[in-house]
Structure 1
Amino acid sequence: MITSGNKYAASLYATMSITFWGVSFVSTKAVLDKLDPFTLLVIRFGIGAVFLCILLLILNEKLTINITYIPHLIVLGILGVFIHQVIQASALLTIDASSAGWMISLSPIFTVILSMIFLHEKMTLFKAIGMILALFGVFLVTTAGSEQTFEPVLNIGYLLMLLSTLNWAIYSVLLKKLSIPLSPLVITFYMSTIGFILTFPFLIRNKGWESLSHLQTGEWAHLFFLGIFVSGVAYWYWAKALHVLEATQVSVFLYLEPLATLIAAVVLLHEKIILISVIGGIIIIIGVIFVNGQLHHVLNWFYGRNKH
């Protein structure tokens, strides 16, 4: 029986996961001044893999895997870890962390589009309205830096973030298709390890170790945060939340991620709050809620919060 205490604990786990993921854009942005994207990711994945391995040993989780699932893990690791993180880190070289946080909310839009193409899901009026709203929100976010003139900002970073959201949607669809009989924590460990292996050759090519000596305590703190809390704890807590709450209930918490990014960007990076960007971000989230048909879940979530 699921008690109210268990539900509150699960809500806390989900909130912490989203907070860590939201702040990850800020931590990545903070370190990119000293490290190239590949060196950053090598260190992050390495720290994450070691942490997760220790955690798995403490929890006595089995790491053995059937050889038939290794290709599945490699494909998921390339798409969901290597390509996804490289694209995001490259995007953050030219755009603000807060803008990246807003735009990543588009991932569910692409997931729905791919589901309609490959899974033959139907287009509805709510989905159409949601997509239009989300696209309009993206327009506002990408024009926020043009001195309020609403002229499109031709920045490769925004294009890379759009590509990132599409890539994550493809990864999500594949993750549903490929049924891997492992716990989420074990899969996360293998994903982080694959990310480390794939990015390590770029560390050698770029001689990334030479940049490590220039890192100060603050930058190392961001790296350890990315490795331990973003690559490790966040995925673990997300899985714990899913053990108690329904997937639709947990997914509502995703709408808090851009807010966490915005707050962290203002506090840690001293980014300015641009009203148009905030309005655009809110419109994106509203559009995503419509597309995913989660309006009633969101209302129930807020009603439950206010009731208590």
Structure 2
Amino acid sequence: MSASATPSVPLKYIALPIITVAIWSINIIVTRMAADVIEPMAISFYRWFVAALILTPIMLLKVWRTRHIIRPHLGKLAVLGLLGMVLYQGMAYIAAQTTTATNMGIINAFLPLFTMIVGMVVLRERPTLFIIIGGALSLYGLGMLLGHGDPSSLIRQGVHLGDGLMVIGCLLFAIYSVLLRLWRLPIDLWSILYIQICVAVLVQLPVVLFMGGGSALNIHNISLVLYAGIFASLLAPFLWARAIHHLGPSRTSIFMNLIPVFTALIAAVFLNEQLHWYHLIGGLLTLLGVMLTQVNVTKIKQILHRSSLKVS
């Protein structure tokens, strides 16, 4: 899509990825709290299992009644479930065991660029100049934030296995986002989400059983599992899919850059982590970058054109 044909984006649709990112940011805090009370692979399974338990009484009959519509697209739904809910999330949990949270945040910041690249190849999209500038600015803001004021220090860090897994995971999630937009399945989003969750449960169940059940649920971890299963695994993916539908994969994915900003603010409040000057500057640059990606070139040209007519 050319810059001159950039569609108008209502504010209510921009709120969708912001709310989703806030949920995921809180989930990062939950994940940190869960580190000592439940194994990563176990929570990766339980989060989708909880979501499936909640949705099954609501969605099972509906899915069965529309099976003639769903059946031809089961292969695509399975691919989406594997990419977005099993591989990406699973790799993130495994990567967390061998890399730092800083590295994971930096690699996640490249997700918008991965999505733009995949979108240009698959959807033949042409990102606007504002999207490119905004993406670069938000990435620099993340560099300030995660590099403690020195973005170049991030380049000097070593590369670990976990970093490579996160890169692959983010690339898979970028493909997931683009495919969700490309295929535009003639199925309601709740059914799409439910089937993907079922795929995630079925795929991960043998792994958990092989591990001997993983970590058992108890009073120390059940609330964390419930948050991950309801908000991070159920509500957030649905809102994210809606955002992709209305904004497109490139514009939606740029909001992922807000996760480190939101996480730092939430951690300061609930975990008493200190905010430094580089948090503020990095956060402001990231926010500015996200705002630039939402600039409507067509609308600006129309305003300028009307202004020129009034002057003349």
Please, what TM-score do these two structures have when normalized by structure 1? 0.72
Distance 1:14 1:276, change over 3 A: closer
1:198 Cα deviation after fit: 1.3
Aligned match of 1:143: 147
Aligned match of 2:197: 192
Contact 1:266 1:273 in 2 (8 A): yes
Q: 1:86 aligns with which of 83, 90, 101?
A: 90
Q: In 1, distance between residues paired with 2:149 and 2:206? A: 36
1:44 Cα deviation after fit: 0.9
Contact 1:136 1:283 in 2 (8 A): yes
Counterparts of residues 10-21 of structure 1 (less than 5 Å): 16-21=19-24
Aligned match of 1:303: none
Distance 1:232 1:137, change over 3 A: same
1:51 Cα deviation after fit: 0.9
Deviations along 1:152-193, one digit per CA (max 9) or x if unpaired, are: 333645554444332221111111222322211111111111
1:95 Cα deviation after fit: 3.0
Q: In 1, distance between residues paired with 2:169 and 2:21? A: 18
Q: In 1, distance between residues paired with 2:39 and 2:115? A: 30
Distance 1:179 1:287, change over 3 A: same
- SS of match in other structure, 1:295: coil
Aligned match of 1:305: none
The answer to whether the aligner puts 1:38 opposite 2:20 as a matched pair is: no
Aligned match of 2:294: 294
Q: In 1, distance between residues paired with 2:168 and 2:281? A: 22
1:87 Cα deviation after fit: 1.9
Q: In 2, distance between residues paired with 1:125 and 1:36? A: 44
Task: State which structure, 1 or 2, has the greater radius of gyration over its C-alpha atoms.
Answer: 2
Counterparts of residues 1-308 of structure 1 (less than 5 Å): 16-56=19-59, 61-63=62-64, 64-65=66-67, 66-93=70-97, 94-96=99-101, 100=104, 104-122=108-126, 125-144=129-148, 152-154=156-158, 156=160, 157=162, 159-209=164-214, 211-212=215-216, 215-217=218-220, 219-236=221-238, 247=247, 251=252, 257-276=259-278, 279-287=281-289, 289-290=291-292, 293-296=293-296
Distance 1:49 1:127, change over 3 A: same
Q: In 2, distance between residues paired with 1:161 and 1:269? A: 25
1:141 Cα deviation after fit: 4.5
Q: What number of residue pairs does the alignment pair up?
A: 281
Aligned match of 1:3: none
1:77 Cα deviation after fit: 0.8
Letter in 2 for 1:75: V
- Extract unaligned runs of 5+ from structure 2: 1-9, 301-312
Distance 1:175 1:51, change over 3 A: same
1:134 Cα deviation after fit: 4.4
1:262 Cα deviation after fit: 2.4
Identity value in percent: 26
Distance 1:149 1:44, change over 3 A: closer
Q: In 1, distance between residues paired with 2:138 and 2:11? A: 31
Alpha-carbon RMSD: 4.0
Distance 1:140 1:253, change over 3 A: closer
